[in-house]
Amino acid sequence: MQTIQEWAHFPDLMIGDEASKLRSMLEVTYPMENGIVKNWEDMCHVWDYTFGPEKLNIDPHNCKIMLTEPPMNPIKNRERMLEMMFEKYEFAGAYVAIQAVLTLYAQGLQSGVVVDSGDGVTHICPVYEGFTLPQIRRLDIAGRDITSYMIKLLLLRGYAFNHSADFETVRIMKEKLCYMGYNIEQEQKLSTETTVLVENYQLPDGRIIKVGGERFEAPEALFQPHLINVEGQGIAELLFDTVQRCDIDIRPELYKHIVLSGGSTMYPGLPSRLERELKQLYLERVLK
């Protein structure tokens, strides 16, 4: 337990890793929700921290900045962001790029489909010759939602977790243990009839818990949004529909280059599961 004297040494505002380490004792807020800035005051605190001596330590007057934004970002959001860069920080120049286009460029490509799933939102973004196409799709499920779902699954197992205080602990657990099941029926059978999926995990307080079916059940929400009470298609169907809505002449190029981006696409087994479901959808809806 912290004494009053010890608390006196803590700053009024903590950002990034500093805040994560002490989140059980802090009121933690996120300036962005589903990929869109909702709290500009907090966002400015993050930028102050990023540009300041703790991180980049730059003089904006002598720099130009490139910012990224998700597809379908509201124009007002972009305008406010650029306004901040020029009027508050006084950068010499600023450019806003779509994340998906830069992801393809990083792979040496100009055309393809980017499946970008980070902490707050998932986008399926088709790009042709460096330009985003209008058939972009959005899924309001990403890393934060999967972590929350994993907490719920662990609570159902009888483990005591707090959605706020233990969020970071479960997030780290998720990143270390979770994977995407290739065949969900087989995974469920293994989970109920055997212990081969069970892994021991030591919590920061020294407790050891056993994590089994939760390892594949939590990320399954990306493919089956109804698991977390979100209506709509999962990531595989969204990807298939996105490509099929594009001009028939460019579809082969898009299917040829599907690029996964963002932390929530890094689950072991996700690429092969996505490929399997895409092939199945193509067989059922195109080649039937």
Given this model, what pLDDT does residue 168 score?
A: 86
Global pTM reads 0.88
Contact 138, 115 (CB under 8 A): no
* Tally of residues, the chain: 288
Residue 109, both tokens: 């490509």
**pLDDT bracket for residue 9 (50, 70, 90):** low
CATH assignment of the domain containing 148: 3.90.640.10
> Within a domain: residue 178?
yes
Taking the C-alpha atoms of residue 19 and residue 25, their distance in angstroms, rounded to an integer, is: 9
> Within a domain: residue 45?
no
AA letter at 40: W
Distances (CA, A) of 73 to 77, 109, 228: 7, 23, 24
Strands 36-37 and 32-33: antiparallel
Number of compact structural domains in the chain = 1
Strands 36-37 and 64-69: unpaired
Instruction: Write the pLDDT tens digit of every residue in 82-138.
Output: 999 999 999 999 999 999 999 999 999 999 999 999 998 999 999 999 999 999 999
AA letter at 82: L
How far from chain centre, in Å, is Cα 263?
6
- Using left for φ > 0, alpha for ψ between -120 and 50, and beta otherwise, residue 16 falls in left
Backbone angles phi, psi at 182, to 5 degrees: -75, -45
Q: Which domain holds residue 167?
A: 143-222
> Within a domain: residue 195?
yes
Instruction: Write the pLDDT tens digit of every residue in 40-77.
Output: 999 999 999 999 998 999 999 999 999 999 888 899 99
Question: Comparing C-alpha atoms, which of 75, 131, 77, 115 is closest to residue 263?
Answer: 115
Given this model, what pLDDT does residue 213 score?
A: 97
Residue 167, both tokens: 């969020």
> Within a domain: residue 12?
no
